[in-house]
Amino acid sequence: MSYVDEVIEAVVKKNPAEPEFHQAVKEVLESLRVVIEANEEKFRKDALLERLTEPERVFQFRVPWVDDNGQVHVNKGYRVQFNGSIGPYKGGLRFHPSVNLGIIKFLGFEQVFKNSLTGLPIGGGKGGSDFDPKGKSDREIMAFCQSFMTELCKYIGADTDVPAGDIGVGAREIGYMFGQYKRIRSVYEGVLTGKGLSYGGSLVRTEATGYGLLYFTKEMLAMNGVDIAGKTVAISGAGNVAIYAAEKAMQMGAKVVTASDSTGWIYDAEGIDLAALKEIKEVKRARLSEYKAYRPNAEYHEGKGVWSVKCDIALPCATQNELHLEDAKTLVANGCIAVAEGANMPTTLEATEYLLENGVLFAPGKASNAGGVATSALEMSQNSERLSWTFEEVDEKLQNIMVNICHNAAAAAEKYGVKGNYVVGANIAGFEKVVDAMNAQGIC
Ligand code: GLU
């Protein structure tokens, strides 16, 4: 049996009931086959893939908190420090009822390669909780965040592990957690990113994942002779990534016609009203069904359906495994030319294969959504030098990073004989740097 197959089998066996983690490992290792087979003997002897797929450290803890009625609740808290070979662990915290150890491990594993691709000195980690922020009062959110940080603060630090936001964790939650860290540890340091501008945050961090996704998409299209201006774009999600992806797509001259949340989706043939979307989601924290009050001609549908809309470019920006094989078939039939992932692993393995086989340009999340964590790393730099850079300065750095990732992924794909395959290219480019650092640091 080949080394890749052996390790995939062992990962499935040793990590039962973690399907998303298995999926992420399979996707990466399968696409690295050419590189691994060329070095099979050495990698096997060094147990390189076993070390790469086993987190360096996993913390799991109890998070008790009291709701507004005096009722005590208990949630699970996690932090997985996956690979610290190229820098302090870096990656978000996700608060969502679907969170379990397998989800955090899949996200942490992806983060290792994503962070390596940014070219910045950050290792990979991820954390979170099965806490559901939906419908909670501000005081309940604060109580939860303080309790979560009371435990988490033992394992993190500006030079050790620097968490940030992800689904369910935005500026409000980061603020509450930063305050609690400071109270307990008595250190004012850049231990979290995505902070508010008044206490060490970076300009552009809010917009970074969505903007970065579009910088990448524009470059990928341009490398293939296509101009993004005038194209119709379907976006899923209505969170931070989706909103700022829509904003940048519009600035680039494209028309964004959809958005979705956990209960339904909207189709606005004339182009989404971004100010309305921001007000509904960022200010009111309400459902997308409210959109019709702003735009009576738009359609609101319950359930899923964004990928049934005719578009040139599809940007899945909601969550993992939201774009299935059937959706991929519909997109291809409707003439879609590019799919770029804003979320982490939103496309299933079968759907990705189908899109690639049918000549659709496909940008994997670990490359195309790396703008968020890259800008987090820029926030860390600013915190270290106790300075703040201008919007233009950060935005220019972000653009350069995304364009470089795109070119590096394309070059790696071409070098290994799969020109135009950004999945293989991104995995190889991310992998090579991590392996180099791991080898240099000995068996650890
Ligand atoms: N949660 C984001 C991601 O998936 C950002 C992480 C960070 O900024 O550290 O990459």
DSSP string covering 173-215, please? Answer: HHHHHHHHHHHHH---S--SSS--GGGT--TTTTTHHHHHHHH
Measured in angstroms, how far is the CA atom of residue 183 from the centroid of ligand 1? 25
What's 283's DSSP letter? I
Cα dist. 262→8, 301, 302 in Å? Answer: 32, 12, 9
Q: How confident is the model at residue 175 (pLDDT cuts 50, 70, 90)?
A: very high
The number of residues making up the chain comes to 444
Q: How confident is the model at residue 225 (pLDDT cuts 50, 70, 90)?
A: very high
Per residue in 257-283, pLDDT (tens digit) is: 999 999 999 999 999 999 999 999 999
Which residue's alpha carbon is at the smallest distance from atom 9 of ligand 1? 91
Q: What is the mean pLDDT of residues 154-177?
A: 98
Fold that domain 3-188 belongs to in CATH: Rossmann fold (3.40.50)
- 344 Cβ below 6 A of ligand 1: yes
**Which atom of ligand 1 is nearest the CA belonging to 90?**
9
Residues tagged active-site: 126
- 322 Cβ below 6 A of ligand 1: no
How would you class 294 by CB atoms within 10 Å of its CB: exposed for 0-12, middle for 13-18, buried for 19 or more? Answer: middle
Alpha-carbon dihedral sign for residues 117, 122, 127, 133 = negative
- 191 Cβ below 6 A of ligand 1: no
Per residue in 85-127, pLDDT (tens digit) is: 999 999 999 999 999 999 999 999 999 999 999 999 999 999 9
The whole-number pLDDT of residue 11 equals: 98
- Give every CB contact of residue 419 below 8 A, 6+ residues apart in sequence: 410, 413
* CA 110 to chain CA centroid, nearest Å: 9
The first and second tokens of residue 110, run together, are 């992806």
The whole-number pLDDT of residue 266 equals: 98
Contact 204, 388 (CB under 8 A): no
Contact 78, 101 (CB under 8 A): yes
> What are the start and end residues of each CATH 3.40.50.720 domain in the chain?
208-363
- 166 Cβ below 6 A of ligand 1: yes
Measured in angstroms, how far is the CA atom of residue 113 from the centroid of ligand 1? 12
Instruction: State pTM to two decimals.
Output: 0.97
Average pLDDT of every residue of the chain? 98
CATH 3.40.50.720 fits 208-363, yes or no: yes
Measured in angstroms, how far is the CA atom of residue 38 from the centroid of ligand 1? 32
The whole-number pLDDT of residue 69 equals: 98
b/e sequence 207-238, b meaning 16+ C-beta within 10 Å = bbbbbbbbbbbbbbbeeeebebeebbbbbbbb
Measured in angstroms, how far is the CA atom of residue 370 from the centroid of ligand 1? 8
**First CA to last CA distance, the chain:** 26
> What are the start and end residues of each CATH 3.40.50.10860 domain in the chain?
3-188
Phi-psi region of 171 (alpha: psi -120 to 50; beta: other; left: phi over 0): alpha
- Per DSSP, the three-state class of 142 is helix
Which residue's alpha carbon is at the smallest distance from atom 10 of ligand 1? 373
Per residue in 14-73, pLDDT (tens digit) is: 999 999 999 999 999 999 999 999 999 999 999 999 999 999 999 999 999 999 999 999
Q: How confident is the model at residue 186 (pLDDT cuts 50, 70, 90)?
A: very high
Residue position matching structure tokens 């016609």: 257
- 27 Cβ below 6 A of ligand 1: no
- 212 Cβ below 6 A of ligand 1: no
Contact 373, 115 (CB under 8 A): yes
Measured in angstroms, how far is the CA atom of residue 153 from the centroid of ligand 1? 18
The whole-number pLDDT of residue 166 equals: 98
Best CA proximity match to 257, nearest among 244, 270, 240, 274: 270
The first and second tokens of residue 393, run together, are 């300065």
The whole-number pLDDT of residue 371 equals: 98
Residue whose CB lies within 8 A of the most ligand 1 atoms, among 109, 373, 375, 405, for a mutation test: 373
Rounded to whole angstroms, how far apart are CA atoms 65 and 2?
49
Measured in angstroms, how far is the CA atom of residue 437 from the centroid of ligand 1? 22
The whole-number pLDDT of residue 243 equals: 98
- 104 Cβ below 6 A of ligand 1: no
